[in-house]
Structure 1
Amino acid sequence: MSKSKPVLSSSIGKKLIMSLTGLFLCTFLIVHLIGNLQLFKDDAGLAFNKYAYFMTHFTPIKVVSYLLYASVIIHVIYAIVISLKNKAARPIGYASYDGSANSKWNSRNMGILGTVILVFLATHMSNFWWKYHNDQTPYIEYRTDLSNGVTTHQEIQASDFHDYSVVVENGVEIVKARDLYKQVDFAFKNVALVALYVIAMAALAFHLIHGFQSAFQTVGFNHKRYIGLVQFIGVWVFGVVIPILFAAMPLYFYFR
């Protein structure tokens, strides 16, 4: 009888799962960023509130969301398991070896960076996801005159809102929605929350710069022909552009 470990329970298997879930989360970041860029539109949140409804009610997206939640949990669990195993393997540091000589700061502190991101995720879900799904956001009505494209809006009471709706009456499109945009505007008036988001995006940048390239190496996608492209995407797309754009959102609402 073979005494070899199952692939998924081996060290390589754990790293493979970490890599695959991490790459899936990277894909989600791109989609989430594209949707959240609607926050910068000067339309009183119309585009963003439409996006929020679509993301929470379109069945295929909801299925992907459950996969996302599972990926976050699995990613965190395996990160903890691998970190504890590595620590147990070397309980006493080498007297004559400085690990920093051959590794970058972010690769040595992935646990700290991951913890900051985890705190951010819990705060983010509490402020927005939880309140939106538990009917704790304001309600808004948009009226767009289809003849000239002019849109007006007003807050409405809970008694006037039954569910998200889009109707056309006498040449006027009427949209009623949960006003997650206003919740975002309200939340980002809190300087402590804004600071947490900016710090978390800095942590995300360092985390992704190392994690993105490491994931591709783990899955075997590290040939010299395209490793340069992987490094470029990891550093400039996931390490610079995406975190900066996410950090710009709370800063935009706080300073505008």
Structure 2
Amino acid sequence: MASFGNAFSSSIGKKLIMGITGLFLISFLAVHCFINALIFVNDGGLTFNVGAHFMATNWLIRAMEVVLMAGLLAHIIQGLRLVFQNQAARPVKYAVNNGAANSKWYSRSMGLLGTILLIFLIVHLTDFWVVSRFTGIPTVDAAGHENLFAVMVARFQTLWVVILYILAMVSLAYHLLHGFASAFQTLGWNHKKYTPLIKAFGIWYSIIIAILFAAMPVAIYAGLIK
């Protein structure tokens, strides 16, 4: 048992946890983005509220929320531990360090990008998840569902919140650009035929997910969705 714990506390073990939790969060992002994108139906939030109601009342999804939060915390903690571990392993910087020659800048900035996303997550969870799961939505729509859409519209009337979401989605895009392919590589899923396809899919996934999430607050703030 001790050797099992030591394996996951090692550098390779930490990266393995990052890869597993990263793939889980990538899957969640796709589902979450699809549900949120229902606001683009632009029917006063009726379709979106149906999706939000399903997410809030389905027992399987509610159970998976616990797994999601555990995975998210594990991903954040292990990410921070890796950043601090890498810094401790190289307390004195090289006199000449041409990092760009070996990796992309966002690959070297995962700690910064992750910190921006952490700040965003605190705001986002406070604004929506806590409200929908614990405090209750104060209004209902024409179909009798809790009107989370009205909460979203009200929140995205504040410019700094919209700007925060845009910055966070830019960070998310770069975070995914590195993390998507890295997660597969960490788990040893490398193949000369399929790895290029995974990387290409990861690029498109990162861009589309980030654009869709960023477009939502922008469209609401601009009055395109009501």
* Common topology (TM > 0.5): yes
Residues 95-129 of structure 1 deviation map (CA, whole Å, 9 limit, x = unaligned): 23322321110011000000111111111111111
After TM superposition, the structure 1 = structure 2 runs for residues 147-186 of structure 1, keeping only pairs within 5 Å, are: 175-186=143-154
Partner amino acid for 1:211? G
How has the CA–CA distance of structure 1 residues 189 and 8 changed in structure 2, closer, same or farther, with 3 Å as cutoff? same
The partner residue of 2:194 within 226, 229, 240 is 226
CA distance in 2, matches of 1:84, 1:58: 39
- Higher relative helix content: 2
Contact kept? 2:46, 2:141, Cα under 8 Å = no
* Contact 1:120-1:196 within 8 A present in 2 as well: yes
Q: Which residue of 1 aligns with 2:211?
A: 244
Q: 1:246 to 1:141 in 2, by over 3 A?
A: closer
Which has the larger Rg?
Answer: 1
Q: Residue type of the partner of 2:96?
A: S
Offset at residue 140 of structure 1 (A) = 2.2
Decide which of 185, 190, 197 is 2:158's aligned counterpart: 190
| Structure 2 equivalent of residue 26 of structure 1 | 26
> Which residue is 2:90 aligned to?
90
Aligned residues: 222
Alpha-carbon contact 1:25-1:68 (below 8 Å) kept: yes
What RMSD in Å do the two structures reach over aligned CA positions? Answer: 1.7
Q: State whether residues 45 and 181 of structure 1, in contact with CA within 8 Å, keep that contact through their aligned partners in structure 2.
A: yes
Q: Deviations over 1:117-147 (max 9, x none)?
A: 11111111111111222335331242xxxxx
Match of 2:45 in 1: 45
CA 1:59/1:89 → structure 2, altered by over 3 Å: closer, same or farther?
A: same
2: CA distance, partners of 1:4 / 1:61: 30
1:255 to 218, 222, 226: 222
Separation of aligned partners in 1, 2:77 and 2:181: 20
Cα 1:26/1:4, change in 2 over 3 Å: closer
Following TM superposition, where does structure 1 have runs of at least 4 consecutive aligned residues deviating by more than 4 angstroms?
2-5
Q: Which has the higher contact order (CA 8 A, sep 6+)?
A: 2
List runs of 5+ in structure 1 lacking aligned partners. Answer: 143-174
Q: Report deviation, 1:51.
A: 1.3
Which letter does structure 1 place at the counterpart of 2:148? L
CA contact 1:138–1:182 (8 Å) conserved in 2: no
Identity in percent? 44
Q: CA deviation at 1:50?
A: 1.5
The residue that corresponds to 1:118 in the other structure is: 118
With over 3 angstroms needed to count, the CA separation of the structure-2 counterparts of 1:141 and 1:251, relative to structure 1, is: closer
Q: Is the 8 A contact 1:139 1:176 kept in 2?
A: no
CA shift digits 1:182-223 (9 cap, x unpaired): 010111111110000011000000000001111111101121
Bigger fraction of residues in strand: 1
Separation in 2, partners of 1:98, 1:141: 56
Shift of residue 3 of structure 1? 8.3
